[in-house]
Chain A
Amino acid sequence: MPHFPVSLVEASSAGLIALVFDKDFHIVNSSGKIVASTVEGLGDDVKLAAGSKKGSVKSVAFSPAGDLFAVCTMDKGLYIYSTASWSIVREAETPKRANAVVFDPSGAYVLAADKFGDVVRLTAAPATDGDSEKPVVLLGHVSILCDIEFTHGDRPYVLTCDRDEKLRVSKYPNSYNIQSFCLGHTAFVTSVATAKFAVNNAVTGSGDGTVRLWDVESGELLQTVVLGDILAQYRESEQDQEKADRFGVLRVRSIEETNEFAVLVEDIPAVIVFPFANGALGTPQVIDIARAPTDMTITSDRLVVSYVPAAEGVQDAALVSVLKNADGQYVADDELNGALSNVHTLETNKVPAIQSIFVWGSKNFIERTNKGDQDDDE
């Protein structure tokens, strides 16, 4: 029987990596061993994490200190785990399904960005008896939110990107006060990354086939990288012209160790790594990976990539693999990949089809009959 693919990967500052598949997740340590999981019976040294067991996991985040782990599910559940006990220390229902979740820089609050355009905020600390705090709205777009991130300056800004081409920069916690709008993308903005080495900048990825560098205070567009120029070789055999010209960014992440930004593109079996120097993105490295990816996270100088299911009949295809930085070049981390090859997800009769980001990113999505996307509200 086939296994669920890993849909999301997220690393903590303490070196743990969350591998999310359907309604469950494994937590692996820096040597690739499972230390906690929502799946029972993996061994004595694996802590059992209570699962929500209802909706599929839509987004996850670790707190800056790595002591808490937040999980948002398709059925609007928001669960905060202690990474020491892997018990749920607080749970709440978000008003709408959250597409992205993040802790604020102090780790005191968790923020969920939802598909209705609102960002809600909830205390992160463990709930005491009778504490049934509900998330409160912090800010809102009239759009679908795709990602949320904080900048790393003395006065952090909260960045939210949406389906309608925008990146909004809001003050924090007084987020009713908008600092700027970063305008220039021509399609949905899927992912935003910030870095300690570039406190005034944000890098966004979009369905318009570009990666853009912004000055967050002014909203000024500083640089536009056209992915088609870098990735043309991967589309040479593509017959469908529309698909051949389409590059949709799945994820942008910063690599703090090496002052780089890594970009992952839907359907492209490669990771693009841009050096960041003198306030600009430099000439990128393009590193081949096994298959089309689903997500990517960074743990110190390593890139962890998860994959779409392998073609039928392919045995022992990796769920995730790791690239490490060897003298500036990214190469396969054979040791960690070996350990991760022992990590399996649950079996399933039918692997759920992974929906292209261009389906919901299309402006006609809401008017379309809700095929494949069961609307859980109203």
Chain B
Amino acid sequence: MADQTMADSNQPKLPQKRYFRQRAHVNIFNDIRLDYPLTPNDEDWSKLYPAYFRAPTTDTLGENKRPSSPAPEEQPAGQARKDQLAQVEFADIGCGYGGLLVALAPLYPNTLMVGMEIRTKVANYLQQRVEALRGFQHALLDKSQRGEHVDLETPLEAGAEELHDNGEIDRLVPGHYENIAAMRMNCQNCRKLFILFADPHFKKRKHKARIISTTMLAEYAYVLRPGGIIYMITDVKDLFDWNEEHMEKHELFERIPEEELKDDPAVPCVCNSTEEGKKVARNKGNKYLACFRRIEDPFEKE
């Protein structure tokens, strides 16, 4: 029984949100101390995705530690190629407490996703949350290896948010949350980019700080591969109109018709899984969703 006690004291603990509160606004134009790699090749992804990347050794520094070829399309769980060839393909910009990532993780078990959050405490919370969730999954895996019963069979449903969007602690999920991570940042070849319930910056003079602007869209277009999608949702109509206007005007994006979105498993998560999204639902607020596809530059075709 000594064994059992040991296991209990080693139980991972989820971080408590109340210790990580921070005000909702950050003045992005202040010089903020950000720890960012000199070039994409200098990022040590092994810290964020230890299951997918080896820590860099001196001879591979700046060379092999970054993925160089696209990750294979969705594969069945458990067959991920956990080597240096993986790459981050989804980015949730302003991920907050990470509800979306935690919900998406089992839906795209072989896709690496990063949440970017500018508020230090909130980013720390999410990273601790991810590490705790991985801890639970590891404990469950150990248990199943010892021959004890572990629920592996019940399939996850995209719409069943209450099931999994706080993170599974008592059953195994595909991907085991090894595929999500948080970064305090403001990645290339992304497939999906999420901008959900962004700071509305109501005052006109603060509009330039909004996360969607004509000039910022050029950078989002740069990190998205053609065919990649930006998901944008907000409860503020004024911000939605602003975002929609800027996105529709931009040459490198086209609106995705609503019919097409019905089959997209990410959409229910986008609407319902974020902490902000739940708050809006509790307050019976409206949610305005629009999705845009990165297209080839029409100017270059001429």
A residues adjacent to B (C-beta < 8 A): 117-118, 137, 139-142, 165, 170-171, 174-178, 181, 183-184, 186, 221, 363-367, 378
Contacts and interface: CB of A to CB of B under 8 A. Distances in A.
A176 B294 CA distance: 12
B215 A174 contact: no
A118 B215 contact: yes
B31 A367 contact: yes
A205 to B, nearest CB: 17
Nearest to B37: A183
A365 B29 CA distance: 12
Interface of B: 28-31, 38-40, 186, 205, 213-219, 221-222, 250-252, 297, 299-300
Contacts of B186: 142
A148 B71 CA distance: 37
Given A174-B251, A177-B297, A178-B218, A367 B40 contact: no
Nearest to A163: B31
A97 to B, nearest CB: 15
Given A174-B251, A177-B299, A363 B221 contact: no
Contacts of B216: 140, 142
11 contacts: A117-B215, A174-B251, A176-B221, A176-B251, A177-B251, A177-B299, A178-B221, A181-B222, A183-B38, A363-B31, A367-B30
Contacts of B28: 142
B31 A174 contact: no
A183 B40 CA distance: 9
B38 A174 contact: no
Given A183-B40, A184-B38, A186-B38, A176 B30 contact: no
A208 to B, nearest CB: 10
B300 A174 contact: yes
A30 B91 CA distance: 56
Nearest to B41: A183
Contacts of B218: 139-140, 170, 175-178
Contacts of A363: 31
Contacts of A186: 38
Contacts of B29: 142, 366
Contact of A176 (B31, B40, B205, B217): B217
B215 A177 contact: no
Contact of A365 (B31, B215, B300): B31
A246 B229 CA distance: 44
Given A137-B214, A140-B213, A366-B31, A176 B39 contact: no
Given A174-B299, A174-B300, A184 B39 contact: yes
A162 to B, nearest CB: 12
B221 A177 contact: yes
Nearest to A116: B208
Kindly name the residue among B29, B40, B213, B219 whose own CB sees the greatest number of chain A CB atoms within 10 A.
B219
A377 to B, nearest CB: 10
Contacts of B205: 378
A171 B218 CA distance: 11
Given A137-B214, A183-B38, A184-B38, A178 B219 contact: yes
A186 B221 CA distance: 25
B300 A140 contact: no
A363 B33 CA distance: 9
Contact of B39 (A175, A183, A365, A378): A183
